[in-house]
Structure formats: C-alpha cells, structure tokens
Amino acid sequence: MKAALRDAGLSALVALGLFGAMVGLRTDVGIGTSKLTINPQPLAVAIIVAVVFLGRLGLVLWAQHKAAAAPVAKKPSHMPALGRYVAPAMLLIAATLPLYSSRYIIDVGVLVMTYVMLGWGLNIVVGLAGLLDLGYVAFYAVGAYSYTLLATTFGLSFWICLPIAGILAAVWGMILGFPVLRLRGDYLAIVTLAFGEIIRLVLINWRDFSGGSAGIASIPKITFFGLVFADRPGGFDDFFGFEYASIHGKIFLYFVILALALLTNWASLRLRRLPIGRAWEALREDEIACRSLGINTTNTKLTAFALGAFFGGLAGSFFAVKQGFVSPESFTFNESATILAIVVLGGMGSQIGVAFAAVFLIGGFELLRELGWLKTFMATTFGMTDFDPAQYRGLLFGLAMVVMMVLRPRGFVSTRSPSIFLKERKAVSGDLVKEGHG
C-alpha cells in the first residue's frame, strides 16, 4: 500500500510537470492589445493530476491484487460466435435503418458508412497485406477529384465516373507502389505519408487544374437511372408518382454507400480465399519466408496496394457526389490518421471489427455532439463555455491507438480464422500467432 502510494505520488508529480505549463498556463491574446498574455487554468491541472494519481493508485493496487490471486486458466474465446450472429444482425440494422430513422440519423449513417468502406479498403492494405499506408487519403482525393473533374468538364454521369475514378486511383496506387514497395515497413509508411502530402499540396497550388484551396463547387448530384432527385417534372418522385420529399435523395445515397461498402467487404472476403489473398496474409506474417517460398513479394504487395486504392477511389467519388463540393481541406493527414485509427482499433484484418470501430469512433462522436447535457455539465463544472466534443476527437483517437497497441496489439477481435486447414477449422487466438520480422 505504501509503495503504491509512493508510485502514484511520483506519477502525479510527473503529470504536474507535463501538464503544469502546457495546460495550466494557456497563452491568449490579451484584451485590447495584440500581445499574448498568460491565462492560468489551475483547476484543469488539479483535475488532471488528481486523475493521474487515483488512476495510477488503482492500477498498482489492482496489479498487486491480481498477482496475489491464484492464476486462472484462460477461457477459450467466444469471438468466432461474434461473426456468426452479430454480423447478420448488424447488416439487418444497416439495411433497414432508413425505415425508422430521422433525417439526421441518415446523415450520420451515410458518414459512418463512408468510413466503414474506407476502413475496409485500407484493411486490405494494412490488415491483410501488413503494409502500413499513411497516405490512404491520397487515393480518396484522387477518386473525389476524378469524379468532380470528369463530371464538371465532360458532363459524365456519376455511374460512369465511379469505375473510372476507382481505376484511376488504382493506377495511382501502382505508380506510387511500384518503386516504393521494395522498402521496409517503416520506410514505406513514411513514403506513403509524403505522397499523401504531395497530392494535397499539388491540389492546393495547381489552381488551373483543381481550383486551388477554394475547391470546386456545384458538382452534379447523383441520379437514379438518369432521374434526378429534385422537385420538378421528370424527377425521381414525379416519375414514380411519389410526393416530393428531399429525404428520398438522402435515402438513395445511403443505400449507394451501403452497397459500395458491402462490395468492398465481399471482395476482400473472397480475395482472402484466393491464392493472392493467402499470399497477402503470408506476407504480413513473414516476408522473408514468403520470398524463400517463391512468392513474388513485389507483385503481391502491388495488388494489395492497388486494390486498396481502388476502393479508396470509389469512396472518394461517392464523397464528391454526396458533398457537391470538394476542396483539399478534406484530404489532410488527419483524415488518413482517422481511417488508420479505425483499422487499428478494429483489429487489423477483422472485417467486423473495422465496422464496429467506424460506428463507435465516427457515429459515437457525431452523437456526442448532440448531447445538450454534456455541454451544460462542462460549462457549469469546468467553466468551458465553448466545449465541443469534436475537439477532443483527435486526442482520444491518438491515445486509443497507443492504448490499443500496448494492451491488445492484435485488436479487440483478435482471433484468426485460418484460411487453410486440415480436416476441421479451428480458430487460432491472436495471442498465439507470433509474427516474424519482415
């Protein structure tokens, strides 16, 4: 107990050092001058230090308690059941969502589905092939700008542009991938990061091509076999004899992104069973072993990279048609990091885990924004009048990635279902799968 108190006290002291200046001494522009002044926040520091002290104390005591108790044999995981029952249930909820939801929920649903699709697309690269791609948003941008430029310059419809955008993104994936995929894992991550930034900077500065940082507005809306969603003769509602409602367009968009996401899911599930998918997973586990077994690692990586880019391009194209406006602001590194956080927290390789992570991380924060009592609580307790949960999103994502890596590096849904098996399929716990160095 005494040792635990000492440990917690030390942690609190470190926390005071870390946060005392950065949190406690907020620099603000003074009233009536342009000079900066210090705006002290002693309460915030006190709360953080207290939380660190109590948290550390609890952690140490719990660890002592656990060490004293007799070791218990680990129960086998029930995770495989999750896939069998939860996935169809989730699909059912997703498919029937527009029937009983408000306009706002459908909007959130479209947003969440976009991230589910991006997560599944990136999952092919990161989760299956084990290539860390920090510039995934570049392909999202290629898809969005492909549709925008093709539609505004040549007047092509969304349904023609969608596959073109995907293919263009895949081509960019190959152009980037061909030279860099020979690099080691961490160097590859940095190169993809640099590539993502280059694409964004070019979009900002090449004004004749992309409209610069002002972006491109008035992108043509989505159509249903040529029928526009508008209140006029020849529109969707007029043709089918419905009474016009602007929500019909939203519902259609929702089903489009749901279909695209399911396409991504279906493709990656099928690909996992093909030789190429097995090669991806083998590559993730041990690159040198792969090479000595005669697998062409460059081509294997390139297909994963191009396919991931393809789905990113499709999602980007959908993003452009949904927003009706694109600008480089939407394709920052933060976006890549968000998608990566979804894949990492979903368990890198688990389809249902990624879907869960997207629903919680994106949908959860959207709903948190709407909670009025949280705002009043923060305003009355901490005096934060301008509290917005979205501000804390990045902070939480970052910390969640660290905690995830420390506690469950293989993800929440960490059982692996082997693609190849003898006689019967046995689930392998992620803890047992040790990875080689590649």
Partner 1 sequence: MAYALQQLINGITLGMIYGLIAVGYTMVYGIIGMINFAHGDVFMIGAFLSLISFILLGIAGITYVPLALFLTLLFAAAISALYGWAIERIAYRPLRGSFRLAPLISAIGMSIALQNFAQVSQGARDKNLIELIPGGFDIFQQDGFVVQLTWMQIVITIVTLTLLGGFTWLVTKTPLGRAMRACEQDMKMTALLGIDVNRTISLTFVIGASLAAVAGMLFLLYYGSINFYIGFNAGVKAFTAAVLGGVGSLPGAVIGGLAIGLIEAFWSGYASVEYKDVAAFSVLIIVLIFMPTGLLGRADVEKV
- Give contact residues for partner 1 (rule: CB under 8 A): 14, 17-19, 21-23, 25-29, 34-38, 130, 132, 134, 179-180, 183-187, 189-191, 193-195, 197-198, 201-202, 204-205, 288, 333-334, 337, 340-341, 344, 391-395, 397-402, 404-406, 409, 434-438
Three-class SS state of 130: coil
Cβ contact 128:274 at 8 Å: no
Residue closer to partner 1 (CB basis): 78 or 434: 434
Minimal distance, residue 14 CB to partner 1, in Å: 6
Residue closer to partner 1 (CB basis): 54 or 405: 405
Residue closer to partner 1 (CB basis): 226 or 394: 394
Minimal distance, residue 230 CB to partner 1, in Å: 38
Minimal distance, residue 193 CB to partner 1, in Å: 7
CA distance 229 to 250: 9
Residue closer to partner 1 (CB basis): 218 or 391: 391
Residue closer to partner 1 (CB basis): 16 or 82: 16
CA-only gyration radius of the chain, Å? 25
Burial of 371 (0-12, 13-18, 19+ CB in 10 A): exposed
Residue identified by tokens 């693609």 is 419
Residue closer to partner 1 (CB basis): 322 or 393: 393
CA distance 383 to 379: 4
Minimal distance, residue 244 CB to partner 1, in Å: 42
Minimal distance, residue 333 CB to partner 1, in Å: 7
CA atoms within 13 A on the CB side of 48: 17
Minimal distance, residue 326 CB to partner 1, in Å: 20
Write the DSSP assignment of 41-60 as a string of letters: -HHHHHHHHHHHHHHHHHHH
Cβ contact 167:339 at 8 Å: no
Three-class SS state of 102: coil
